Amino acid sequence: MIVVVGISHRTSPVELRERFAFAEADVPAALEELRRSGAVDEVVIVSTCNRVEIYAATRLDAPGAAAALKQFLFRRAQGKGVSSAAMPAQGGPPNAAAEGEFYVHAASQCLAHLFRVASGLDSMVPGETEILGQIKGAYQLAQRHGFTGLALNRAFQRALHAAKQVRTETNIQRGNVSVASVAVELAGKIFASVAGVAVLVLGAGDTSAKVARALQSRGAKRIVVAGRSLERAQALANEFGGQAVPFEDWPRHLDAIDIVISSTSAPQPVLDRRTLEPMMTARRDRPLLLIDIAVPRDVHPDVNILENVYLYDIDDLQAIADDYLKLRRDEIARGEAIIQENVRAIFERIQPQATAAPGTSAGLA
């Protein structure tokens, strides 16, 4: 049996999703804990700004596997503000609170969900490209550490194949199709135009790079990149003729900044009311737009009470994303047909392998 248990932007707000998110460095230990529990034979964890999902091949039936995986997630999140009252009972079915936040898909529905996610059809911005790399990275990490076998190898390899097919056989990627580009579009709506504004990008990762590219295409006057790795920040800044600064120095540059776009991997907020209030006084209350696309969030919501501070988090981008959804409905339907075609092609080859030994590779015809 293959099964997925997950939480996403479709089921829960960011303030809950961030409590279940995994830092990449923590994933191998989490995978090992799951395997030691005896509930799974193979396992992959996908954790992005919009979703946390556990894919597993298991000898348990779907309800039993779902209960075990939810128990693991809630136990891990208990220290992040998730009440123990919301946890499934040990060895028993999850209660209504847990059921309400998580979805479960098994067998062919699990495959269809995985293929849909990898193809960008389940994303906040339909057709966005980041998710395919994130799915591939999650799979490769689990495979590298020996947590996948025939079932999940075949499932994830076919997911990559299906995603490529959707990308090449539909027009779903036409136009702005990333969370980063939607964030920049929001900035353009708030300021009328991004052209001429000064922007601070917190975090020098892949999402930050996409933000910087989108900003440059809109004519931003100045881009400052602050990263914990100054070398990576410098490489990104050089690409756009911007300025790189050590992460701890970014507050010194805020006085000249109009927009802050934050996408770090920090486990706690890097900006809150106490930090920002004196900075706003120094700015003489000039308007400041904060776009927080990180999960866990980089900016504490208490900054909202400050005058002339405008904070938008990942969930606030949903309104713009909904516009893209309307424009892409026909392409989504074409993509769904491709997904079902791939599910039919691979399902019977996966089910008999659900208890195969982890670490065994399998190719796809």
- Contact yes or no for 345/111 (Cβ under 8 A): no
Catalytic residue selected from 49, 57, 66, 212: 49
3 state SS of 209: helix
Omega before 296 cis (within 30°)?
yes
Count CB neighbours of 259 within 10 A: 26
- Contact yes or no for 264/211 (Cβ under 8 A): no
**β-strand pairing of 198-202 with 259-262:** parallel
- Spatial distance between the Cα atoms of 181 and 210, rounded to a whole number of angstroms: 7
* 110 counts as catalytic: no
Contacts of 215 (CB under 8 A, 6+ apart): 184, 187, 194, 199, 201, 223, 240, 261
Rounded alpha-carbon distances, angstroms, from residue 37 to 31, 40, 68, 104, 291: 10, 7, 9, 19, 40
- Spatial distance between the Cα atoms of 356 and 107, rounded to a whole number of angstroms: 16
- Contact yes or no for 170/331 (Cβ under 8 A): yes
- Interior/surface letters 161-199, b for 16+ CB within 10 angstroms, e for the rest: bbbebbbeebebbeebbbbbbbbbbbbbebbeebeebbb
- Spatial distance between the Cα atoms of 34 and 54, rounded to a whole number of angstroms: 10
Residue positions annotated with a catalytic role: 49
